[in-house]
Copies of this chain bind each other. A is one copy, B any other.
Amino acid sequence: MAERKENSTNSVNRKCIVESNDLSYAIDMVGGRWKLLILVNLEKKKLRFNEIRKAMSSITERMLTLQLRELEADGLISRTVYAEVPPRVEYELTEISTELIPIWKKLCAWGARHRKARA
């Protein structure tokens, strides 16, 4: 049987689908109201639970816990517990999430440009 020759529309479509999957995956990882914001706070240095909480005054403890857990499960942050009393837990970016820094910087810049352009 002869193979069907593909037209360019099909290959454009398929490429788009692959990109959509990669993008969906990325959105799953860092999407939502909080995740990127949490990561940004860890950009400069590792922080403890309460430090993140204070830095992001509008997040609740519960949400912060949930989001940190998901980020950890997805390998985007690492969590280190020090056996002290009271407990001390530090969160920091991983290699994988460090790769995102230039991306959120660009997003910030975009936001800054267009947020000003309205106001």
Binding site for B on A (CB under 8 A): 12-13, 16, 19-27, 29, 31-33, 36-37, 40-41, 44, 55-56, 75, 96, 99-100, 102-104, 106-115
Contact = CB atoms under 8 A, between A and B. Distances in A.
B111 A22 contact: yes
A29, A102, A103, A110: most-surrounded residue (chain B CB, <10 A): A110
A37 B20 contact: yes
A104 B36 contact: no
Given A25-B115, A96-B114, A103-B106, A16 B36 contact: no
Given A26-B107, A26-B111, A103-B107, A20 B40 contact: yes
B114 A16 contact: no
Contact of A36 (B12, B13, B27): B27
Nearest to A45: B12
A115 B26 CA distance: 9
A89 B32 CA distance: 30
Nearest to A22: B111
B23 A111 contact: yes
